[in-house]
A and B are shown apart, each in its own frame.
Chain A
Amino acid sequence: MDDRKLYTLYQLQSDISEVLAEAFTDSLWVRSEVSECSVNRSGHCYLTLVEKEEKSGRLLAKCSAVIWAQTYRILSAHFRSVTGSDIVAGMNILVKVQVNYSELYGLSLNVRDIDPSFTVGNLELERQRTIARLSEEGMMDINSSLELPALPRSLAVISAETAAGYRDFMEHLHGNQYGFTFATTLFPAPMQGAEAPSDIIAALDTIAQRIDEFDAVLILRGGGSVMDLVCFDDYELALNVAQFPLPVLTGIGHDKDYHVIDMVAWHNLKTPTALADFFIEMFVHEEQAVAALISRLKLALKSKSHRELALFDNMKVRIRSAVSLKASEALRRVDLLQTRLIAANPRTLIEKGYLVVLKDGRRIATGAELVPGERLKVMFSDAVVECEVISSEIKNNAI
């Protein structure tokens, strides 16, 4: 028993420390995932780094690391300027570390440097993988094949309640200059951080239970850094958006490129305000379409009534010409009468040598009733002669 070499704990630890110091003299670059990250009051940053198996997500390795305050101030500023974010849990990072073993605290990696472009590139890589997977699964065009009603008035909005983007959207939509009315219902969810995807999915589930009440779902966020918006590249969230039974429209404030949920959504716009405009424009479009039909209708009716008027005018012409035709006929008749009248005028007859005989001032045409002694007047053209009947003889054909 006694020939066993006994170590004190301290001795063991210092031996390990020595061996490690010899084995890892230079600092080295390590890539890993941040599982925990906190900065203490002195400004030192304590990290828990992990590595997971890619497919199963099973933990393969775990180690603590520290960035001392002096280094952290410089590194975090640099990191933020490139990625737009602080180092947070869930992120993949590439760090230059010095292996350190302390008898009291065990193994720790002392971070000397960080390469933020790795984090950005890694996100992009992951994004591309997610896009490829969703395309392969046929998720890209599912939501966009749904039909959005011509007048989408009832809108379910997923946003952070206090977000500026949400406020802008509400002001823009409800304050539209045309006076269109919309009914919006907010389903609040945080729009950044590791919890965002599952919270947004939960909001979608709530909406799904009230599906008949809504025409469309809107996901709003008023902009942010690359890392803030990384939740919108989440595979599970994209899958839920793609398969949602109502059209999902996104207004996530960014102008550089798409997020994965923009690609699977029914439609995406650059900002919440642009999304509000999109809905207002739909109503403007419909109002214009109806107005166009109204003017076509008016025009059609007008041209028809013009045609009827033209027909009426034509009728007037025909009536007038018919009337004038009749009038000329009448005139001809008058002419004829006149001719006959002229022909019948006693003066004409007298001038021709016929005689007009008057009895008691009246013209008489027969003499059978005249008796001897009666007085008659005979009219010549130049004189009136008074005569007395001497005798009369009735004849059947006197002339």
Chain B
Amino acid sequence: MKKILVANRGEIALRIMRTIRRMGIRSVAVYSEVDRQSPHVLFADEAVCLGPAPSSQSYLNGDKIIAICRELGVDGIHPGYGFLSENADFARKVEDAGIAFIGPGPEAMRIMGSKLAAKECVKGYNIPMVPGIDEAIEDVGVAKEIAQKVGYPVLIKASAGGGGKGMRIVEKESDLEEQMQRAISEARSAFGDGSVFIEKYVNSPRHVEIQVLADKFGNTVHLFERECSIQRRHQKVVEESPSSVLTPEIRKKMGEAAVMVAKSCNYTSTGTVEFLMDDKLNFYFLEMNTRLQVEHPVTEMITGIDLVEEQIRIARGEKLGFTQEDLKINGHAIELRVYAEDPLNKFLPSIGTLTTYVKPEGEGIRVDDGYEEGMTIPIYYDPMIAKLAVHGKDRTEAIQKLKQAIQDYKIEGVATTLPFGTFVLEHEAFISGHFDTHFVGKYYTPDMIREKQKANAYLAALAAVKYWEHESMQLKPVENKTTSWKRRLAH
């Protein structure tokens, strides 16, 4: 492979291109009109504008992307995550055009892309499943019957879903109709497929997933787990590896189950098998994500393996260079997703210009981002600014390191999930390791961040008065009136 096009934007496009360059391969960026000054565009060896800002006219325009590949002599397409990454039709078209799709084969994507087909596929492999009904429904009356049978609360899920989109918890029958319509409509607009199904909602669940890696010669390994239970709106915010609750025995069992799921659909490339785990450490197969995951850095940090490099090697037809026995967990890694969202206002997107943007630096600190100071966060795409990941020799060290990195990460102009990250890392439940996916609902209120801000604001007020007293006592002549606010105190 001499040239790879990255069909994505922002931080993940940049992260993929860094590996591409390290491997001595040329990179091609694609971008929408609002992303012209995005770092991924500036970093790439070649860049092509796809069209206007809305994804449907830019990053989702698969035919145009394939045409660009033909024109520029591209050998491989890396789809990143989101956008076209789990679109089996696109993957097939790419392969039909004689270009390598850097990801799993279209058939495995098709099966695992449909939660219903996935359940069907793994049926014969003795993998534990969540109680529920495994067929698509559109009729509200039928839905009510099923919900009654499995018992409320139930979870409505989009068959084609992911990332919490098209997913709704329904507590009581009177909410079912409205929630189902929303889920169907959301699923239709996000995935082009409105079919939904209903599952029993598991209480106190932890979300634990296993990273798998498979070459085209039947070698499949797992790269241990990621604990992703800290979520808001069903989307992960804090992820870590290893999980603080898994025993070596359960880790082995889950790893083997994940490898089995991958094998059931002849999976190749990187993939993630998601499990729900109850408070007795029973685990149930949830779904398989047929792509690189946002939280992949924690796995890279504890295994020392560059997952994007492995994807490219597998796509080139190389065998895995290691076996399951070669893989070891080294230390502990935690990632915080830094979203442009206001944790004080229901995590609603907070859009604006990054008036201050300074990244933390240091050993064991990794920032995958796609922004620079002065850039504006567009409304058209996911509001993630960066992934902030740290690696320590154990969990305690990793927690401390991440707390410090959050303090050193200076972002002004938009609200972010950084203060929420501090809240999580300081919370007793997180520190002890005894938490589940209800962490946010159970423990978090905006007041807690507000109270802490207020305490710090009070100290700032005291310092301000001290400074003012001191300055006015000196009776200094006013230096330069025209630049009053800009006077930096560098002396």
Please indicate whether A and B come from the same complex rather than being unrelated chains.
no
